[in-house]
Structure 1
Amino acid sequence: MTLWIVVRNLRVRALTTALTLLGVALASATALVVPLVLRSLERGAADAAQVFDVLIAAKGSPTQAVLSSLYLLQPPIANLPYPVYEWLARDPRSRRVVPLAFGDNYRGLPLLGTNAEIFSLRLKPTAPPYFRLRAGRAFAGAYEAVLGARAARETGLKLGDRFLSAHGFFASQAEAATAEAHHQEEEYRVVGVLEATGGPWDRAIFVPIEAYWEVHGEGLQERQVTAVLYTGKRLSDVYQVAQEINRGGLAQAVFPGQVFAQTRELLLQGQMAYGALSLLVLALAALLVGQGVYAGGLERRRHTALLRALGAGRGLVFGVVLLETLLEVALGVLLGLLLGWGLAAAGSGLLGERLGFFLPPPQLSLDLVARVLLLLPLGLLAALPPALQTARQSPLEYL
């Protein structure tokens, strides 16, 4: 009986009910969207760089070194002398040493000068290679190129196609088109296309580092590398080499996990500030619910008086108002959860496309759900004054 009365009341004031549901849903979604996107970004960034053990780059900001060499989002700090790479390659503690050279692009996509060792990178020693060919083969000649999955999609290049590179880490397609004809004489030929990894290097075009040196006129004495990916035979070897590198004055050894930890602290601080703001938004939504309940009580004064005249007690009237509020808030929170997740999923997809690596779908955790469920007690608390007022009103006033 009570539930039937509640449903009838909500249907009678359909417009007010819809506005209340919309307000609660928007408040709930607002409290969820940014944390969901940030957590998706955190997981995606960690997954994208987990294949890289240690990054050795020029002295400077470790964060910029990671953003430039691993995520291809910023220009490199500087180059390293080639003897740094040679020393690492000859060191008996080294398992895999991969040189990286940046500085050219094709239609705005970075060319990555490296060696064939890059195609043997693995997430774990027993795991299959991280980079797997979808078509063709790895480069062998000086002017052969292997396309990342996204690079192949965006450029339209296919096996056997040839292209000229342009100078610069970043360039628009218009800038690249004007520079290509003057950058080099010999064209690169596409010999392979990689499977998508979901990482930032899907945007890269892999070419032999020897071609990089030749294009830039770097002789044996002038050779440089932008960075080096290093893997030791044992974990202790990795830390020993990293300490030796950091004690020198030419380079720094960067552990991506440490950079993520520092960045995560900044993200957590931002999330805490946003969490306080979202609580304010939820409190405003609760006030909106209370206002809606009060306005609904004014509209239903004659109906409530009639119920009282027919024998309904004050407890029933009071319970109807609270149950009506609870149902409205619960439906609004449910819609908010769906809306917040949907907006976060769309935002993660757009952000991942812009950053150049895959962001996993957002995950609703218990702490985030608990945050929006605060609207239930807040809404009931805001509805108490109008509920008490409705229960105490005399039926004689409105009959």
Structure 2
Amino acid sequence: MTLWIVLRNLRVRALATLLTLLGVALATATALVVPLVLRSLERGAADAAQVFDLLISAKGSPTQAVLSSLYLLQPPIANLPYATYADLERDPRARLVIPLGFGDNYQGFPLLGTNTQVFELRLKPTLPPYFRLRQGRPFRSTYEAVLGARAAQATGLKVGDQFLSAHGFFATQQEAAEAREHHQEEKYRVVGLLEPTGGPWDRALLVPIQAYWEVHEEGAAQRQVTAVLFTGKRLSDVYQVAQEVNRGTQAQAVFPGQVFAQTKDVLLQGQSAYGALSLLVLFLAALLIWQGVYAQGLERRRRTALLRALGAGRGVVFGVVLLETLLEVAIGVLLGILLGWGLAALGSGLLGERLGFFLPPPLLEVGLIGRVLLLLPLGVLAALPPAIQAARESPLEYV
């Protein structure tokens, strides 16, 4: 009976109910969107870098080294002498030593000079290779290319197609035209297409490092590499090599996981600030609920008096007002959670497209849900004064 009265009251004042639901839903979604997107970014960035054990680059910012060489988001710091790569390649502790050479692009997608050991990278020794061919084969000769999944899809290149590269990370139409005339004499031929990994290298066009040297007219004495990926036979080998490299003056050894952890700390600081803002938004939503409940309490005084005249006890009247508010807030929070998750999923997708790697769908964690569920007790507290007032209302006042 009480629930039927509550649903009838909500239907009678449909516009006021809709506005309250909208306010609660928007406040809930606002409190959820940014934390959900940031956590998707954290997971996506961690997944994209975990295949790489140790990155060796020129001295400078470790963050820029990771963003340029692993995430392909910034220009490299500088190049390393070929001797640095050669010494690492001869090191008996090395299992994989993969050179990286940057500086060219095709239609804005970076060319990555490397060697065939890149196709041996694994997330774990027991897992299959991280970079797996969907079609074709790995490159063998100098001007052959293997395309990441996104690069192949965006450029339309297929196995057997040929292309000319342009200088720089990003190509304008003029640069592309100049590249066709001056950049190289021999075209690259596509020999393989990779399965999508969800990582930033899906945007890369992998070519032999020898092509990088030839295109840039680097003879044996002038050869350079942008960075080197190192995987040791044992974990202790990786740490030993990192210490030795960092004691030198030309190169730095960077653990991608450590750089990501530092970047995550910065993100968490911003998330904490947003968390305080979201609590303020929830408090404003609680004020909205209180104002709505109080205004509705004044409007329903005649209906409440009628209920009392028909024999409804004070407990029933008190319960109707309280349940009405609780139901409004609960529905508004539920709608807000759905709206917040939807907006976060859309935002994660757009951000992933812009950054060039896959961001997993947002996860509704217990802590985030608990934050917005604070609106339920706040709504109940807001409803207590008008509920008590309604329960004390005398039906004789409206006779």
Question: What TM-score results when the alignment is normalised by the length of structure 2?
Answer: 0.98
* 1:135-164 residue CA offsets vs partner (Å, 9 max, x unmatched): 111111111111111000000011111111
Residue in 2 aligned with 1:371? 371
Residue in 1 aligned with 2:293? 293
CA distance in 2, matches of 1:170, 1:393: 73
> Compared with structure 1, are the counterparts of its residues 174 and 301 closer, same or farther at alpha carbon in structure 2 (3 Å cutoff)?
farther
CA distance in 2, matches of 1:248, 1:126: 34
CA distance in 1, matches of 2:227, 2:173: 26
How far apart are residue 397 of structure 1 and its match? 2.5
Residue in 2 aligned with 1:150? 150
What is the identity, as a one-letter code, of the residue corresponding to 1:108?
G
CA distance in 2, matches of 1:4, 1:175: 71
What is the identity, as a one-letter code, of the residue corresponding to 1:184?
Q
Which SS does the other structure have where 1:75 is aligned?
Answer: coil
Residue in 1 aligned with 2:212? 212
> Compared with structure 1, are the counterparts of its residues 178 and 19 closer, same or farther at alpha carbon in structure 2 (3 Å cutoff)?
farther
Q: Check whether the contact 1:304–1:317 (CA below 8 A) recurs between aligned residues.
A: yes
Q: Check whether the contact 2:6–2:320 (CA below 8 A) recurs between aligned residues.
A: yes
> Compared with structure 1, are the counterparts of its residues 246 and 27 closer, same or farther at alpha carbon in structure 2 (3 Å cutoff)?
same
How far apart are residue 177 of structure 1 and its match? 4.1
How far apart are residue 174 of structure 1 and its match? 5.7
CA distance in 2, matches of 1:77, 1:391: 72
> Compared with structure 1, are the counterparts of its residues 180 and 387 closer, same or farther at alpha carbon in structure 2 (3 Å cutoff)?
farther
How far apart are residue 398 of structure 1 and its match? 2.6
Residue in 1 aligned with 2:201? 201
> Compared with structure 1, are the counterparts of its residues 173 and 371 closer, same or farther at alpha carbon in structure 2 (3 Å cutoff)?
farther
Q: Check whether the contact 1:164–1:181 (CA below 8 A) recurs between aligned residues.
A: no
CA distance in 2, matches of 1:19, 1:83: 69
Matched, 1:48 2:48: yes
Which SS does the other structure have where 2:270 is aligned?
Answer: helix
How far apart are residue 324 of structure 1 and its match? 0.4
How far apart are residue 124 of structure 1 and its match? 1.2
What is the identity, as a one-letter code, of the residue corresponding to 2:370?
A
What is the identity, as a one-letter code, of the residue corresponding to 2:303?
H
CA distance in 2, matches of 1:287, 1:388: 18
Which SS does the other structure have where 1:102 is aligned?
Answer: coil
Residue in 2 aligned with 1:328? 328
> Compared with structure 1, are the counterparts of its residues 12 and 107 closer, same or farther at alpha carbon in structure 2 (3 Å cutoff)?
same
Residue in 2 aligned with 1:247? 247
CA distance in 2, matches of 1:27, 1:38: 18
How far apart are residue 170 of structure 1 and its match? 2.2
Structural mapping, 1:78-157, within 5 Å: 78-157=78-157
CA distance in 2, matches of 1:228, 1:305: 80
Bigger CA drift: 66-75 or 291-300? Answer: 291-300
Residue in 1 aligned with 2:263? 263
Q: Check whether the contact 2:167–2:175 (CA below 8 A) recurs between aligned residues.
A: no
Q: Check whether the contact 1:290–1:386 (CA below 8 A) recurs between aligned residues.
A: no
Q: Check whether the contact 1:101–1:212 (CA below 8 A) recurs between aligned residues.
A: yes
- RMSD, aligned α-carbons: 1.1
| Matched-pair identity in % | 81
Q: Check whether the contact 1:105–1:176 (CA below 8 A) recurs between aligned residues.
A: no
CA distance in 2, matches of 1:269, 1:384: 37
Q: Check whether the contact 2:164–2:179 (CA below 8 A) recurs between aligned residues.
A: no
CA distance in 1, matches of 2:95, 2:224: 21
TM superposition outliers: structure 1 runs of 4+ over 6 Å: none
How far apart are residue 298 of structure 1 and its match? 2.2
* 1:44-86 residue CA offsets vs partner (Å, 9 max, x unmatched): 1010111100000000110000000000000000000000000
Q: Check whether the contact 1:294–1:386 (CA below 8 A) recurs between aligned residues.
A: yes
What is the identity, as a one-letter code, of the residue corresponding to 1:262?
Q
Residue in 2 aligned with 1:236? 236
Which SS does the other structure have where 2:159 is aligned?
Answer: coil
What is the identity, as a one-letter code, of the residue corresponding to 1:58?
A
Structure 1 gaps of 5+ residues are none
Residue in 2 aligned with 1:21? 21
Between Structure 1 and Structure 2, how many residues are aligned?
Answer: 399
How far apart are residue 309 of structure 1 and its match? 1.6
CA distance in 2, matches of 1:77, 1:174: 25
CA distance in 1, matches of 2:270, 2:160: 49
What is the identity, as a one-letter code, of the residue corresponding to 1:29?
A
What is the identity, as a one-letter code, of the residue corresponding to 1:31?
A
What is the identity, as a one-letter code, of the residue corresponding to 2:42?
E
Bigger CA drift: 379-388 or 249-258? Answer: 379-388
Bigger CA drift: 222-231 or 273-282? Answer: 273-282
CA distance in 1, matches of 2:286, 2:91: 65
Which SS does the other structure have where 1:31 is aligned?
Answer: helix
CA distance in 1, matches of 2:358, 2:176: 26
What is the identity, as a one-letter code, of the residue corresponding to 2:90?
R
Residue in 2 aligned with 1:189? 189
Question: What TM-score results when the alignment is normalised by the length of structure 1?
Answer: 0.98
Bigger CA drift: 263-272 or 175-184? Answer: 175-184
What is the identity, as a one-letter code, of the residue corresponding to 1:107?
Q
Bigger CA drift: 4-13 or 286-295? Answer: 286-295
CA distance in 1, matches of 2:21, 2:42: 32
Which SS does the other structure have where 2:101 is aligned?
Answer: strand
> Compared with structure 1, are the counterparts of its residues 174 and 203 closer, same or farther at alpha carbon in structure 2 (3 Å cutoff)?
farther
What is the identity, as a one-letter code, of the residue corresponding to 2:268?
L
Residue in 2 aligned with 1:383? 383
Which SS does the other structure have where 1:32 is aligned?
Answer: helix
How far apart are residue 273 of structure 1 and its match? 1.1
* 1:64-110 residue CA offsets vs partner (Å, 9 max, x unmatched): 00000000000000000000000000010111000000000000000
CA distance in 1, matches of 2:214, 2:398: 94
